[in-house]
Amino acid sequence: MLTDQINFNPLICSDHKNIKTVFLNTLVKCVIYFYITQINRLVKGKDSKFKRYLALTNDRNNIDPFKLHAHEKYLSKQKIKKRKYVNM
């Protein structure tokens, strides 16, 4: 899969036998961290690009369901906050 797509020849040396595994583990951790950061930004309502994308697209079947759920969670929190301020 990923190992077939990446050329590891420049990284291979006799002293560092497991550099391929270390590189792939680090890459996967970075991708997961970036994805979780995006989800957290959606829950907090700080991702304006995603909001604009949702406003412009009609086909929600091609959008990541976790991101959609995070955005819906943000919208529901906003409704609860508005109700609290109105009832004060």
Cα end-to-end span (Å), the chain: 56
| pLDDT tier at 85, thresholds 50, 70, 90 | low
Cβ proximity of 12 and 29 under 8 Å: no
**Tally of structural domains, the chain:** 1
| pLDDT tier at 17, thresholds 50, 70, 90 | confident
pTM of the shown model = 0.73
Distances 87 to 8, 76, 82, 83 between C-alpha atoms, Å: 61, 17, 9, 6
Please state the separation of Cα 40 from the chain's center in Å: 8
Burial of 43 (0-12, 13-18, 19+ CB in 10 A): middle
Q: Which domain holds residue 22?
A: 2-86
The predicted-structure confidence for 25-83, as pLDDT tens digits, reads as follows 999 999 999 999 999 999 998 988 998 998 898 888 889 999 999 999 999 988 777 77
